[in-house]
């Protein structure tokens, strides 16, 4: 009898429905800064995790800690950013969340030359714009990667105001439009560069 009751209990548990859990969209952002690493962190880090990751690290963590953390994200975790981006990213993180907080103003003046690692294309060469801003790390032409495929974006925004809307979304970023992973803002792009990218996306 006990064996029969146990079997019935297991059967009932196995038939239970799975919970359908909906997480709220990600809205957290990294702290704005004049340091060149701010844009790099926005672009590279939020592909895989929320901005809260940085704010939950020990506030007294030294530069070596942040260097090790950034290197860990690339290998073994496989984050897609250039080695040349790392010093500026570490500089921003340690001066914004770590032991060197308050040194950001001085650091911005020292670190500005590193900004050359993210060249600004002149608004004409789409391939240069795509490469310089890491667009294809999160998007593909016709399928979802981290963000939607360009063809899906084109289908949603087709119409006379589509270019302006997509260009504005590129520059301001956002969350909740295509799922829980936010798109970081690319505010460093000029309106002309953003429009060039928008035209390319909408022509897919």
DSSP 181: S
For residue 1, what pLDDT is reported?
A: 56
Task: Give a yes or no: residue 68 inside a domain.
Answer: yes
* Domain assignment of residue 135, given as a range: 126-202
Task: Give a yes or no: residue 64 inside a domain.
Answer: yes
Q: Are residues 163 and 98 in the same domain?
A: no
Task: Give a yes or no: residue 144 inside a domain.
Answer: yes
- Rounded-to-integer distance, Cα 84 and Cα 132, Å: 13
- Record the tokens describing residue 126, joined without a space: 């789409």
Q: Are residues 151 and 104 in the same domain?
A: no
Query: Closest Cα partner for 139 from 57, 47, 67, 8?
Result: 47
pLDDT over 50 (residue 52): yes
Q: Are residues 173 and 191 in the same domain?
A: yes
Other CB atoms within a 10 A radius of the CB of residue 96 amount to: 24
Q: Are residues 131 and 197 in the same domain?
A: yes
Task: Give a yes or no: residue 6 inside a domain.
Answer: no
Compare 125 and 151 and report the one with higher pLDDT.
151
Query: Closest Cα partner for 43 from 57, 27, 62, 29?
Result: 29
For residue 2, what pLDDT is reported?
A: 54
How open is the CA angle 71-84-149, to the nearest 5 degrees? 85
Please give the span between the terminal C-alpha atoms of the chain, in angstroms, as a whole number: 66
Q: Are residues 111 and 168 in the same domain?
A: no
Q: Are residues 93 and 134 in the same domain?
A: no
Other CB atoms within a 10 A radius of the CB of residue 171 amount to: 19
Span 62-82, pLDDT tens digits: 888 889 888 888 877 778 888
Q: Are residues 42 and 111 in the same domain?
A: yes
Q: Are residues 87 and 148 in the same domain?
A: no
Domain boundary among 117, 136, 170: 117
Q: Are 35 and 112 in contact (CB under 8 A)?
A: no
For residue 94, what pLDDT is reported?
A: 92
Domain boundary among 63, 91, 117: 117
- Record the tokens describing residue 174, joined without a space: 């956002």
What percentage of residues in the chain have a pLDDT greater than 70? 75
pLDDT over 50 (residue 102): yes
Other CB atoms within a 10 A radius of the CB of residue 70 amount to: 21
Task: Give a yes or no: residue 16 inside a domain.
Answer: no
For residue 24, what pLDDT is reported?
A: 58
DSSP 139: B
Instruction: Find all residues with CB under 8 Å of 20, minimum gap 6, and list them.
Output: none
Number of domains in the chain: 2
Average pLDDT over residues 36-55: 82
For residue 121, what pLDDT is reported?
A: 38
Query: Closest Cα partner for 183 from 49, 80, 82, 46?
Result: 46
């Amino acid at each position: 009898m006990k064996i029969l009751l146990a079997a019935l209990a297991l059967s009932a548990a196995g038939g239970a429905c799975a919970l359908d859990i909906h997480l709220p969209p990600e809205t957290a952002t990294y702290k704005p800064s004049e340091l060149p690493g701010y844009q790099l962190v926005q672009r590279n880090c939020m592909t895989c995790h929320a901005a809260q990751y940085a704010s939950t690290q020990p506030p007294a963590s030294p530069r070596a800690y942040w260097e090790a953390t950034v290197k860990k994200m690339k290998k073994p975790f496989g984050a897609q950013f250039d080695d040349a981006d790392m010093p500026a990213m570490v500089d921003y993180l340690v001066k914004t969340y770590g032991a060197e907080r308050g040194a950001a103003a001085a650091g911005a003046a020292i670190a500005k030359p590193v900004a050359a690692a993210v060249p600004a294309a002149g608004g004409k060469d789409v391939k240069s714009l795509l490469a310089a801003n890491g667009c294809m790390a999160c998007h593909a032409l016709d399928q979802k990667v981290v963000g939607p495929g360009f063809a899906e974006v084109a289908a949603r925004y087709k119409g006379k105001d589509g270019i302006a809307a997509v260009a504005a979304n590129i520059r301001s970023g956002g969350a909740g439009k295509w799922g829980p992973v936010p798109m970081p803002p690319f505010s460093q792009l000029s309106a002309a560069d953003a429009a060039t990218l928008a035209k390319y996306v909408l022509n897919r």
